[in-house]
Amino acid sequence: MSQPERDSPEVWKPHVTVAAIVPHEGRFLIVEETGREDAVFNQPAGHLEPGESLIDAVVRETLEETGYRFQPHGIVALYLWRPDAASDRTILRVNFWGEALDQVHEAPLDADIIATHWLSKDELRARHARLRSPLVLRAVTDFEQGLHLPLDAVFDLIGHPPVEEAVLGA
């Protein structure tokens, strides 16, 4: 059997998403958004768009969903998650952490955003049945436990010289 072509439908690919942990005075910036049945709570998050860097994606998603400009300081973790065990749909989520700089009041929020909230971990835990996924509380817990990777661990090589040139100085 031959290898499937790079872009053929036979090649499995995860859905790449980014999310932002934004702590402030013991609370976290959370969005309330429309879910399949009821409203759910999530970190500002969304899909990586073609040609976009991971950092640009999390900055964009945070602004689109909360109206806050976001300054990432590092990565909490990368999570590989399958929402439905019966499906091969898999999420690769890169969870950044950082700070909200300022709120752009004229920035329109995504249509599925109901409200933004500053919630404590206990308030999130009390809403566990309404969290978009278990990754919401997991990422907050990992952040609070000090699981941080430096931002310079993220390399954006899209649109830059080939890796060989960057590494070898060719």
Would 92 be classed as within a structural domain? yes
Q: Which of 19, 81, 30, 83 is nearest to 54 (CA)?
A: 19
pLDDT in tens, 39-88: 999 999 999 999 899 999 999 999 999 999 999 999 999 999 998 887 88
Would 40 be classed as within a structural domain? yes
Q: What is the pLDDT of residue 162?
A: 60
Reduce the DSSP state of residue 81 to 3 states and report it.
strand
Q: Which of 26, 24, 27, 31 is nearest to 45 (CA)?
A: 31
Q: What is the pLDDT of residue 1?
A: 44
Would 91 be classed as within a structural domain? yes
pLDDT in tens, 100-155: 999 998 878 899 999 999 999 999 999 999 999 999 999 999 999 999 999 988 88
Which residues have C-beta within 8 Å of that of residue 48, sequence separation ≥ 6?
16, 17, 18, 54, 57
Between 6 and 142, residue with greater pLDDT: 142
**What does pTM read for this prediction?**
0.86
- DSSP-assigned beta bridge partners for residue 119: 28
Would 7 be classed as within a structural domain? no
- DSSP-assigned beta bridge partners for residue 77: 95
φ and ψ at residue 158, rounded to 5 degrees: -75, 125
Q: How many structural domains are present in the chain?
A: 1
Would 19 be classed as within a structural domain? yes
Q: 63, exposed or middle or buried, with CB in 10 Å at 0-12, 13-18, 19+?
A: middle
Instruction: Note down the domain range covering 114.
Output: 15-168
Domain holding 31: CATH number? Answer: 3.90.79.10
Contact yes or no for 4/10 (Cβ under 8 A): yes
